Amino acid sequence: MTIFKVAAVLLTGFFVGLTLEGIARKIIARVQRRYGPPWYQNFIDVFKALSKHGFSHGWIFDFGVLMALGGVIATLSFVPLGNLVAFPGLDNVFVVLYLFAVGALGMAMGMVGSGNPNASIGVARALTQMLGYEVPYLVSLAAIIFYYKTSSISNLMNLQADSWNLFKMPIGAAVAFISLMGMLGKKPFDTPIAPAEIASGPMVELSSKYMGLLMLMHTFSIFVEISLFVDIFLGGGSYLVFLLKFTVVWIIATLISAVLPRFRIEQVVKFYWRVPLGLAFLQAFFVLIGWVF
Amino acid sequence: MIYYISIILIGIGVYGLLSQKNLFKHLISLALIDTAINLFIVSTGYINGKEAPIYSEFTPIANFVDPLPQALVLTAIVIGVGVLALGAAMLIKIKEKYGTLNVEEIRRGDK
Amino acid sequence: MISLMIAIPLLFAFVSIVFKGLAKYALPFIVLLNILILLIASTPVVENIGGWKAPFGISLVLDDASYYVVLVVNLIFLLLSLIPQIIDKGYDTIILLLLTSTNGLVLTGDLFNSFVFIEITAAAAYILAYHRNNPYGAFKYLIIGGISGSFYLLGTIFSYVGAGSLNMAHISNNSFGQLTAAIAILFILGLGVEAKLFPLAGWVPDVYASGSSLTPTILGTAITFAIMYLTGRIFITVLHGTFLDVLYILGLLTVIVGEVAALRQDKLLRALAYSSIAQAGLVVAAISLNNIDSLTGAYFHSMNDLTAKFILFPIATVVIKGFEKDRLAGFAFSVASFSLIGFPLFAGFRSKLLIISSAFSAGNYILPAVLFFASIVEAAYLLKWNIKLWFEKSDTSNNIPWNLKTIVLVLSILLLIIGIYPDLYLDASRKIAQSILDTQGYINSVLGGI
Amino acid sequence: MSQLLLILFIGSFLVYLLTRMNWIIGVLANIGLAIYSFYRLFTFKVGTSESIFSLIVNQNGTLVYSELSKFFGIISLIVAISVYFFLINWLEKQKNRAVFNFFLALITASTLGVFFSGDLLTLYIFWEIMLLFSVLLVQMGKEDSKKAALNYLTISLIGSYMYLYAVFMLWNRYGTLVIKDIVQKISVETSIFKWAVLILIAAAGIAKSGIFPLHTWLRTTQGSSPDAFSAILAGQLEKLGAYMLVLTVAVFPSLKMFPVLYGGIPVFNYVLIVLGMISILIGTLMAIKQNDMKMLIAYSTVSNSGYILIGLATMDKIGFAGGLFHAFNHAIASVMIFLSFAAVIYRTKTSKIDEMGGLIWKMPLTFITYLVGIISLAGIPPMSGFISKWMIFVVLVKKGMFLTAAAAFIGSVGSFLYVFRPLAGVFLGQLKSKHKDVKEVPIFMLIPMLVLVVITVFFGVIPGPVLNMITAVEKELNIQPLEHTMTVIKSSVGQWNTLTVFTMFAVGFIIAFILYMVFPKAKRIPLTNQYTAGEFLYNYDLYHYSTRFYAFFERLYEKHPSVEKLYEMFGKFFKDIGEFLNRWFYSASPSAYLLWFSIVLLAIFWVRW
Amino acid sequence: MRRFLSALIALGLIIILLEFLNLIPDFGNVDLSKRVSNSFINKSVDGNNETIEFKKSKDLEDGSANVVTSIVVNYRSFDTLGEVTVLFTAALGVGLILKGLRRKRFYREPNFILKTANGILLPLIFLFGAYIFIHGHLTPGGGFPGGTIIAAGILVLYLSNEKFELSHRAKILESGMGTVYVLFGLVGLILSGIFLRNFLPTGVIGELFSAGIVPLIYVAIGFKVGAELSNLISEFQKEGQQ
């Protein structure tokens, strides 16, 4: 049974993720008064990349990509999609968040292993940015876990049947959303990729199936990140409701990123540690004294 | 009275040691302090109206001042002499080694 | 009989002027004779010189305290006599005189007599200080030593005026109000210079670090130990603990100052000289706590210190570059310095432990803290020197004579043994402490029927 | 136990002699001793106590074998055995081999002695022996290791003398030094006395495990000590600090002794938690800055010790277990990391990150060791390091300690940053031309590293055995034991299964691997063949980004207050005072001597007349 | 400034010592009966209760008419032995310190008057010195002043004669006399088991041949001090090579 559920989760991630990415491209294009590619463009991209003969920079390059994809797949399988929960009770928030780091580490390792300094710079920026957004995010999550006395995502989701956390703890939700923007690597937090500065950063040496696998990994990552937000702050719901909420969050994030310029990397850290972290502490304080709506 | 004199002498000796820069003067001040203390010791044994503690034809019966401090002072004097002699010998050597007896010049020479 | 311990070395000192070189060869035998006398003597013995009974004449007192102190002093001289290389020509008579005066210093029961012996010691020490053409340092020592001697004399006279006698037991038996305070002040000044108390003892580094191995080896061990004994005897037995608090503060200051000053030194001998100062300060501070455990600890520590210093000073003067060639000497050096720092299993740890525990049980929380501070600083610079001498590259190293090497090795093994089985030193120091504290017993044994 | 210790101490002399004859035999003898004692650890019965001689009269020293000593003994022996194996090849290039080996054996012996000690003074004795010989080992490293050793010595001594001070305070008050008795008596103590004692005892642990404010020795000491010894230092000796912290917070029942504050944590432990927080922040931020890889991991030790301390100080069943488990993980992980560094330095003769690069192509197995080590150190599943971090996070969140949790999160995410720096700078990227001929290290250096890799992964997947030991310790210390099975760790706020996580990771990896195999094969091109926007590369050494890896981030805290500088200032201050004293009191003229003489006279008179 | 401070400190010292003076009896108002000297004067340490009369009292515990001498050489003879040792040490030390230096010469004839007067006075000086130390137990003076007077004679000799060098025998004398002193003590030890015991009969107080070993020791001291001081004088005539 678990196997099927995991498969369902992964397939959802694949299809919904790629579709929504295509839609996002379309939306951005419309905001920028362009026509934009079709919604299925990303499927084409992935399969095209996967089918090409490419270049490898040695085994660590290959291994990094595999580790990245494997890590993210593992992470995704723990994320409850609405009532589609592969591992009920074992879907611990911290486990998911840190398992997620395996993928990031694998990607970073593989990309730096390519020997291109742009990749190294990109990874360094990505890690720094992570230091920025993770802390407020984790603190706001900590407040929620403290409030509900559980760290299982599905339990958290079920416990907000009466009212979403978005309304119970609006500040925490805002913080989590800002952090989500950083996680997604969307503007204004797309410093690690910054195509104009460091030639797409980590991805600079990628070609062919490596590119394809990394695109898959990227899609899954996005799926994990947004799913977490939806589960924890928007109350999850049934599978379809979940996908609806997911789409809404995704589109809002896309719209926001479409109109904003890019931060410099130290500005990112400064911003996250100043505003969202402060707000997260405020939220935690409210939770401590019982000011939860 | 003699107490005061000896104490003032000690003070002078200390003053000399503190204010002078010549090592020979230090040695002399030391001798001064020694002497002052010897004076003090002797004077602690004095008793009004009594005589030197020697049985003689003039003083056949004991009516003496305290003889012990006098004996002690004898010892102290000799010890003082010994130290003084050593100090003087060292001064000769200092003069030979540094060419001066001035403290400040010696300290400069040491560096 | 015990007067022989003073008379025989003195006799040989006189004779050795005529028969040159006699002193050097006679020294071990004289010391052995002294030790023999000690072995057949039973405590307490009071010998009235010239047959004049106690408060009138001069008495030599061999109670438990002076017994062990004299024993230690003579053993040190015995060791010294076995390394005649470090005694230059002509200085052998000085060593004999030093032996005489140190024995006298410890044995005497008379204040003025102790002054005389201090002066002999001091005169010999001035000459030793001069040893390697160090006239300025020696002269400075002479001036401050002379002044302190004067104050000691003044203190003696004041006690005579107060008590009407110069006998320590007699003085101790009398009480004379505020005059005691005056006497105590004078004695602090008089003994402080020899006991290396801050800020009275500026002479120490210049004298110890003159480059002679003889000077610090003998001054830093036997003489220091005798002076520590005298400090305890005068301030505790005779003056009943008056002004020990002043001594305590001075002792603590000395510890801190000595260690801090040692930290800065870039010459090993000078650093060791400061360490000697600091240890003396520690011993004085422990003595001033005036209870059996702290006194035991103080004398125990003093013994450990002098054992270590007997290893450190000769090696430090002979070895300049490193232990590459002479690992055994290096071993001894390291053991001695570890003991000095107070690492466990070395002798110094036991005594420091004892001092600390006695301080705590006396409700004193400052001495241990200062002691720890001192140990940290001491560890820093002594280990620095150890590392430097062991591990830094060195081209040349002086050869250490075999007898010196043997002695330092034996002593270092002794330090290790004491670290595990301290009874050898501990019993001695406990007896010293008991006897120093036992004022009434001292008075009774000296004054007898009176 | 006394028998084992005796064998170890005598054996270490034997090791010395054997090493003088033939160093390989010496190392083997050392390994033999360590393995023998490892075996003996399991044969001892928990709870037995023996009395041995003591340094205080009328007082027997006691050795007690407890679950705690077993746990820490096992950690330290695993570390010791793996490092000794490593020495079989590594020692070849070291001077003074016999002494090196001898000291190592003594350190292991005295470390076990510390864990076995049943009274405070025996503990101190073994502690000081360990300290002395570790100082002597530290200074056998690079040129500046002499200074580092003194730095280490000074700070350790500050800690251990504070401890000794406390020991005597207890001895004076209770007349006993046996930990069990003291614990009984101090539990009912009401005065400020217990505060002083516990803070002083904690100081030893703080100094040893490198917690703020006594962490400054770690950078220089680990940076310059002999490379293999750095592993011992991190894995074995710093865990002594952790042991001491356990002693402070748990063996002395802080829950009973102090009023309980917010979150059910005794007020005393809050002090420690604050120190732990500061350590995490300092360790993380400073580690990010380091260019020397050993110094970098040294700072990471500061940070991880902070975690251990926080975990222990919460005194919660899961937090305490997390602290203990983190001690275990950090020991193993840091040994792996330091051994891989030692291997790298063995071949390249440098520890500067920006002087290396691309070594993965030459030393792949070393790289794997490092990789697994950092994954565990940074707390990323599926290695065991994550389990302990998870436990600590859970307890902090459960108790609502958000500030501490934020510090822990910063440390955790920050550790991704700093562990990645050597990874990228040393192992990945462009191979330096001067390292073209570097080879993988010899087999005996690889064996312990790979064994440790296996251990880490194994306990990451099946932490049960370790957790069993930890729960035994918790039971012994009257803390509620952690609920767990072989692979499932439970807490009141949720559980997780290590095996599931690992399986899913494996599944994901296999899926990725299948995809990888299914799609067309890629052509292997050299690293020098790069996307360079059409430019021709002429110097690949420059084409490697490792100098000031996080320059943009470091800029944020360039001007930070530094405790190290403060201590240096103190040191200089003392030296200046020494110079002053020397000038004015000891090398002065006769007049000055008399001046001080008179001043003393005047002072005494003025004060006391 | 330095002088002012020095004066201030010296003043402080004087004040302290003056303060100490308050604690002791006024000058000249000493109660002798409380001091041990009372027994020295009455020679009653061993329990003699009779009053002593000059030239009459016989076989006292100590036979010297000069009470100071009786203290110096009998009651506290051990101090004196030490004192002699200090002087001996000093002479030895001066010898060691100034070793290798040669006698200073001015290369000119000393004053004629000095030379002539020297020839007349020298025997008298020596004779006077000898008188002083032989009568040490009867009159003021003793071994130390006597020895010093003899040494003064040697000084005169040095001043008047550029080429004069003290014989090595002076050293032998010095050492021999010291030995004699110690031997006296040892003889006492052998005869009566007490070091420095007066083992000769004390005779009638006030007579030349009285007081047992006291005059003998004083003679030895006289020679010894004379030789030592002479040695010192001769050492101080030296100077570095020019």
**Helix (H) / strand (E) containing D50:** strand D49-52
Sequence letter at residue D462: I
**Alpha-carbon gap: B18 to the closest alpha carbon of chain D (Å):** 5
**CA-CA distance, D209 to B62, in Å (whole number)?**
83
- The number of angstroms, rounded, from the C-alpha of D48 to the middle of its chain's C-alpha atoms is 28
Return the pLDDT at C396. 57
Return the pLDDT at C393. 65
Q: How buried is residue E112: exposed, middle or buried, by Cβ count under 10 Å (0-12/13-18/19+)?
A: exposed
**Is the ipTM of this structure higher than 0.95?**
no
Q: How buried is residue A43: exposed, middle or buried, by Cβ count under 10 Å (0-12/13-18/19+)?
A: middle
CA-nearest of D580, D575, D608 to D592 is: D580
Q: Could you tell me which chains touch chain A, where touching means 3 or more CB pairs under 8 A?
A: D
Contact D556 A114 (CB under 8 A): no
- Chain C neighbors of D581, CB-CB under 8 A: 257, 260-261
Across the strands, what pairs with A81? A84
Q: Terminus-to-terminus CA distance in chain E, angstroms?
A: 40
Alpha helix locations (H) across D175-210? 179-187, 193-209
- What's the pLDDT tens digit per position in D212-252? 888 888 888 888 888 888 888 888 888 888 888 888 888 88
Nearest to B55 among E2, E40, E205 (CB): E205
Residues 107-166 of chain D with CB under 8 A from chain C are 124-125, 128-129, 132, 135-136, 139-140, 146, 149-150, 153-154, 157-158, 161-162, 164-165
* Alpha-carbon distances, residue A180 vs A80, A106, A129, A231, D99 (angstroms): 17, 21, 12, 13, 57
- The domain containing residue A151 runs over which residues? 2-289
**CA-CA distance, C415 to C404, in Å (whole number)?**
16
Which of the 8 DSSP states describes residue D523?
Answer: E
Across the strands, what pairs with D524? A56
Contact B90 C130 (CB under 8 A): yes
Helix axis angle, D216-224 to D293-313, nearest 10°: 140
* Test mutation, E29, E32, E89, chain B, max B CBs within 10 A: E32
Average pLDDT score over residue span D412-420? 86
- What's the pLDDT tens digit per position in C1-29? 788 888 888 888 888 888 877 778 888 88
**Alpha-carbon gap: A256 to the closest alpha carbon of chain D (Å):** 26
Contact C94 E25 (CB under 8 A): no
Q: Is E89 near chain B, with CB under 8 Å?
A: yes
Q: Which of C271-285, D226-240, E36-50 has the highest mean pLDDT?
A: C271-285
The helix/strand/coil state of B31 is helix
Q: Could you tell me which chains touch chain B, where touching means 3 or more CB pairs under 8 A?
A: C, D, E
Sequence letter at residue C98: L
**CA-CA distance, C46 to D281, in Å (whole number)?**
72
Q: Kindly identify which residue of chain B lies nearest to residue C151, measuring between CA atoms.
A: B37
Counted domains in chain C: 1
**Predicted confidence band at E1 (pLDDT cuts at 50, 70, 90)?**
confident
**Contact by Cβ (8 Å): E31, E25:** yes
Return the pLDDT at D534. 65
SS3 of D451-482: HHHHHHHHHHHCCHHHHHHHHHHHHHCCCCCC
**Contact by Cβ (8 Å): D106, D9:** yes
- Chain E neighbors of B83, CB-CB under 8 A: 86, 90
**CA-CA distance, D332 to D384, in Å (whole number)?**
10
Contact D146 C391 (CB under 8 A): yes
Q: Kindly identify which residue of chain E lies nearest to residue B68, measuring between CA atoms.
A: E37
Interface C-E: count of C-beta contacts within 8 A: 152
- What's the pLDDT tens digit per position in C34-55? 888 888 888 778 888 877 877 8
* Test mutation, B98, B103, B105, B106, chain D, max D CBs within 10 A: B103
Q: Which distant-in-sequence residues (6+ apart) come within 8 Å of E26 by Cβ? A: none
Nearest to C353 among D56, D600, D608 (CB): D56
Interior angle at CA A97, CA A96 and CA A103, nearest 5: 90
b/e burial code for range B29-44 (CB count within 10 A of at least 16 → b): bbbbbbbbbbbbbbbb
Mean pLDDT of chain C: 85
The position carrying tokens 């996580």 is D501
Choose the weakest-confidence range: A261-265, C109-113, D538-542, E166-170.
D538-542
**Contact by Cβ (8 Å): C91, C215:** no
* Test mutation, C45, C56, C157, chain E, max E CBs within 10 A: C56
- The domain containing residue C305 runs over which residues? 4-447
Nearest to E93 among C3, C104, C127 (CB): C127
Q: Which distant-in-sequence residues (6+ apart) come within 8 Å of D227 by Cβ? A: D90, D141, D294, D338, D341, D342, D345, D346, D351
Q: How buried is residue D142: exposed, middle or buried, by Cβ count under 10 Å (0-12/13-18/19+)?
A: middle
**CA-CA distance, D431 to C312, in Å (whole number)?**
53
**Contact by Cβ (8 Å): A9, A77:** yes
What secondary structure does DSSP assign to C275-294, as a single string? HHHHHHHHHHHHHTT-SHHH
**CA-CA distance, C222 to C219, in Å (whole number)?**
6
Every domain of chain B and the residues it spans:
2-50+68-110
- What's the pLDDT tens digit per position in D186-215? 877 777 888 888 888 888 888 888 888 888
Counted domains in chain A: 1
pLDDT surpasses 80 at E47: no
**Predicted confidence band at D57 (pLDDT cuts at 50, 70, 90)?**
low
CA-nearest of C291, C153, C163, C283 to C225 is: C283
**Contact by Cβ (8 Å): D582, C261:** yes
- Chain E neighbors of B46, CB-CB under 8 A: 27-28, 30
Q: Could you tell me which chains touch chain E, where touching means 3 or more CB pairs under 8 A?
A: B, C, D
Q: Is C57 near chain E, with CB under 8 Å?
A: yes
Contact C116 B93 (CB under 8 A): no
**Predicted confidence band at A139 (pLDDT cuts at 50, 70, 90)?**
confident
- Chain B neighbors of D594, CB-CB under 8 A: 14, 17-18
CA-nearest of D126, D2, D110, D114 to D68 is: D114
Q: Which distant-in-sequence residues (6+ apart) come within 8 Å of A69 by Cβ? A: A103, A106, A213, A214, A216, A217, A220, D508, D509, D511, D512, D515
**Contact by Cβ (8 Å): C415, C381:** no
Nearest to C136 among B41, B82, B106 (CB): B106
**Contact by Cβ (8 Å): D411, D303:** yes
Contact D609 E13 (CB under 8 A): no
Every domain of chain D and the residues it spans:
2-505, 569-608
Q: Kindly identify which residue of chain C lies nearest to residue D141, measuring between CA atoms.
A: C391
- What's the pLDDT tens digit per position in A212-228? 888 888 888 888 888 88
**CA-CA distance, D164 to D204, in Å (whole number)?**
9
pLDDT surpasses 70 at D557: yes
**CA-CA distance, D223 to D348, in Å (whole number)?**
16
Phi–psi pair at E130, nearest 5 degrees: -60, -40
Q: Kindly identify which residue of chain A lies nearest to residue D357, measuring between CA atoms.
A: A115
Nearest to E9 among D595, D605, D609 (CB): D595
How is domain B2-50+68-110 classified at the architecture level of CATH? Orthogonal Bundle (1.10)
pLDDT surpasses 60 at D331: yes
Residues 375-394 of chain D with CB under 8 A from chain A are 375, 378-382, 386, 389-390, 393-394
pTM of the model: 0.88
pLDDT surpasses 80 at D261: no
pLDDT surpasses 50 at A101: yes
Residues of D with CB under 8 A from a CB of B: 587, 589-591, 594-595, 598
Which of the 8 DSSP states describes residue D429?
Answer: S
* Test mutation, E87, E195, E200, chain C, max C CBs within 10 A: E195
Return the pLDDT at D547. 78
Across the strands, what pairs with E232? none
Residue A261: left if φ>0, alpha if ψ -120 to 50, beta else—which one? beta
Contact C4 E195 (CB under 8 A): yes
B abuts E (3+ Cβ pairs < 8 Å): yes
Interface B-D: count of C-beta contacts within 8 A: 22
Helix axis angle, C402-420 to C423-437, nearest 10°: 70
Contact E89 C161 (CB under 8 A): no
Return the pLDDT at E120. 86
Residues 101-120 of chain C with CB under 8 A from chain E are 101, 104, 110, 112-113, 116-117, 119-120
pLDDT surpasses 70 at C450: no
Average pLDDT score over residue span D3-13? 84
- What's the pLDDT tens digit per position in D421-450? 888 888 887 777 787 787 887 888 888 888
**CA-CA distance, C245 to C254, in Å (whole number)?**
14
- What's the pLDDT tens digit per position in B10-51? 888 888 888 888 888 888 988 998 999 998 888 888 888 888
**Predicted confidence band at D532 (pLDDT cuts at 50, 70, 90)?**
low
- Chain E neighbors of D609, CB-CB under 8 A: 19
CA-nearest of C182, C294, C179 to C228 is: C294
The helix/strand/coil state of D573 is helix
Contact C47 E25 (CB under 8 A): no
Return the pLDDT at E239. 67
HSE-up (13 A, CA, CB side) for residue D367:
23
Interior angle at CA A166, CA A165 and CA A168, nearest 5: 55
